[in-house]
Amino acid sequence: MQSLKEITKQEHVEFDLQKNFLEASKDKEFTSLVQTLELTSKEAMKITSKLQEAVEEKKHCKECKGFYMCKNLFEGHRYVPEKREERIYFSYLPCKFQQAVFEKEKQKTKKNRMKDIDTTDKNQLKIIKWLDEFYSSYDVMKSKKGLYLHGSFGSGKTFLLSALLNELCETKHASVEIVYFPDALRTLKEDWDSFASVMHRYETVDLLLLDDIGAEKVTDWGRDEILGTILQTRMNEEKATFFTSNLTIQELETHLSLSSTSTDKVKARRIIERIKQLSIEMALVSENRRD
């Protein structure tokens, strides 16, 4: 049985939540977002501050004309809520300017080489040593684990791994595929004529880099039919696989869980186990090199 003190404290919390919600509801965009997400007042009250943050960042983006004007927490990204199976998930999605940067960098990754790596950055030394060892001992006929490299936005993850893969392609004639994963999912969904051939390429290429995994919108199809199939085949074929992400492997598991059901958690766990079989995890802590 609750004490009077506990009841009073709970009432204060509920009063504050209701007060904040009513204040936020004066903003038409906040109210519109609540309606779009099909939230009841009680549900919205619990996440009012997060919803307000999403609304504010959306407003910033409407007025923005480039990175120099970005007011959001993570430059070039917007805090976005999404409803999945009666639960609300928040994630940072790239804006149109950041998407343009991704496209430009995708073209640049084809030119990255190991000689261009900055060896004076102490934050990268452990990773550079790993890359050197992988390069030196690489044999296309022997199985070898890749790398799951996670770190903050713009820290140079893609540059480092693409430099290694390009070097192995040029000097040891390994077949290489560097894939921006969110785009790959969109392409596979839209172009059914080339679906089988593209999937075969991802499954069998000597060295595969799945870039920015965790930035995609998670669906059963993308997670289980695409990612799961690619990883399982590469495990069976013993093909080296690389990943970059803004999420740790543990955070990625949460991201891949569409809901809190036991079935969904098992499916997410299955993907994570495949990633661990294919790669080792390392963190890159560095300044934003895109600046």
- 78 and 125 assigned to the same domain: no
User: Do 288 and 101 meet the contact criterion of CB atoms below 8 Å apart?
Assistant: no
Q: State the residue range of the domain holding 10.
A: 4-96
* Whole-angstrom distance, CA of residue 234 vs CA of residue 229: 9
- 48 and 120 assigned to the same domain: no
Q: What is the pLDDT of residue 93?
A: 77
Domain assignment present for residue 290? The answer is no
**Could you tell me where the DSSP H helices lie in 79-223?**
96-108, 125-137, 157-172, 181-190, 195-204, 220
User: Do 218 and 187 meet the contact criterion of CB atoms below 8 Å apart?
Assistant: no
Residue spans of the chain under pLDDT 50: none
Q: What is the pLDDT of residue 52?
A: 95
Among 37, 66, 96, the domain boundary falls at 96
- 119 and 258 assigned to the same domain: yes
* Whole-angstrom distance, CA of residue 277 vs CA of residue 253: 15
* Whole-angstrom distance, CA of residue 57 vs CA of residue 79: 6
* Whole-angstrom distance, CA of residue 82 vs CA of residue 36: 10
Kind of pairing, strands 240-245 and 146-151? parallel
- 263 and 142 assigned to the same domain: yes
Domain assignment present for residue 289? The answer is no
Q: What is the pLDDT of residue 37?
A: 93
Q: What is the pLDDT of residue 266?
A: 93
Count of domains observed in the chain: 2
- 126 and 62 assigned to the same domain: no
- 54 and 144 assigned to the same domain: no
Domain assignment present for residue 197? The answer is yes
Q: Does the reported pTM lie above 0.85?
A: no
Domain assignment present for residue 103? The answer is no
The CATH number assigned to the domain holding 203 equals: 3.40.50.300
Q: What is the pLDDT of residue 237?
A: 92
Among 41, 61, 96, the domain boundary falls at 96
- 35 and 127 assigned to the same domain: no
Domain assignment present for residue 102? The answer is no
Domain assignment present for residue 101? The answer is no
- 186 and 59 assigned to the same domain: no
Domain assignment present for residue 33? The answer is yes
User: Do 138 and 167 meet the contact criterion of CB atoms below 8 Å apart?
Assistant: no
- 137 and 254 assigned to the same domain: yes
Instruction: Tell how far CA 265 is from the center of its chain.
Output: 18
Q: What is the pLDDT of residue 3?
A: 58
Among 43, 61, 96, the domain boundary falls at 96
User: What CA–CA distances, in Å, run from 76 to 35, 96, 151, 255, 270?
Assistant: 26, 8, 16, 20, 32
- 161 and 246 assigned to the same domain: yes
Domain assignment present for residue 174? The answer is yes
- 40 and 167 assigned to the same domain: no
- 221 and 89 assigned to the same domain: no
Q: What is the pLDDT of residue 287?
A: 60
φ, ψ for residue 151, nearest 5 deg? 175, -175
Q: What is the pLDDT of residue 289?
A: 53
